[in-house]
Amino acid sequence: MPLILISNDDGINAPGLKCLVETIKSLGDLIVVAPDQPQSGMGHAITISKPLRVELVKKKNGCKWHTCSGTPADCIKLGTKIILKKLPDLVVSGINHGSNSSTNALYSGTLSAAMEGAIEGIPAIGFSYCDHSWSADMEVCRDIVKTITKKVLNKGLPAGTLLNVNIPNVNEKPLKGIKICRQANARWVEEFEERVDPSGKNYYWLKGNFKNFDKGQDTDEWALSHNYVSVVPLQYDLTAHHVISVINGWEL
């Protein structure tokens, strides 16, 4: 059976993590290493200034569940180096509560856990459901998660890549299918609300709205808004290859 390492950024008690494990438990031997508390928005942060701790918290249906005191990226590092002491066949992260489409992928701990797997040369997938509610009904995710996980196990992925899968919150509407997409040109338009704490000191609370500036019909944002599952291949190589020739023209 394939060995599958599972993590997330919503924490060990997240319903989305439970749904993920239940959905793919027949596809391999599962090991869970997840943060001991929510780590949303941590991106690819790693812990270097305090001790890291890992604890086996339960065994259920042959799956061992571990908590990690660090970030999602820490979970994959400790999962491979300490718990498994070898590389798994697949890393799966999620199911995240909320969208990780477009530039949200840069901030996402869920995607960073999958990215850490890709850095190690392991095929990896990050799953997200576009509903932030802790009580979200994720039944619509099960077939999608199982289908894509089976495909990656059977087909593999090119080295250094992962899949960012977002599943729309369709409510009563049926899913139309799956679209292989590019990342949309969209971002948060942010502002900070100034507040005053009980001691009279000012503090700031981040808020904003997510804006899609991309009119293309081949993007993840278009797919999700039209009730399609979006699948975006990602890579950890951030090189802007098309700019190399431009910079060479500067004759530095």
Domain count, the chain: 1
Q: Is 121 inside a domain boundary? A: yes
Tell me what pLDDT residue 172 has: 66
224 in any annotated domain: yes
Domain residues for the domain of 23 are 3-184+215-248
Residue 199 resides in a domain: no
Global confidence as pTM: 0.94
Q: What is the 3-state secondary structure (H, E, C) of the chain?
A: CCEEEEECCCCCCCHHHHHHHHHHHHHCEEEEEEECCCCCCCCCCCCCCCCCCEEEEEEECCEEEEEECCCHHHHHHHHHHHHHCCCCCEEEEEEEECCCCCCHHHHCHHHHHHHHHHHCCCCEEEEEECCCCCCCCCCCHHHHHHHHHHHHHHHCCCCCEEEEEEECCCCCCCCCEEEECECCCEEEEEEEEEEECCCCCEEEEEEEEEEECCCCCCEHHHHHHCCEEEEEEEECCCCCHHHHHHHHCCCC
Tell me if 210 is assigned to some domain.
no
pLDDT at 247: 95
In a domain, 84, yes or no: yes
- pLDDT one digit per residue (tens) for the chain, 252 residues: 999 999 999 999 999 999 999 999 999 999 999 999 999 888 999 999 999 999 999 998 789 999 999 999 999 999 999 999 999 999 999 999 999 999 999 999 999 999 999 999 999 999 999 999 999 999 999 999 999 999 999 999 999 999 999 999 987 678 999 999 999 999 989 899 999 999 999 999 998 898 999 999 999 999 999 999 999 999 999 999 999 999 999 988
pLDDT for 170 equals 84
In a domain, 198, yes or no: no
* 197 assigned to some structural domain: no
The verdict on residue 206 lying in a domain is no
CATH number for position 169: 3.40.1210.10
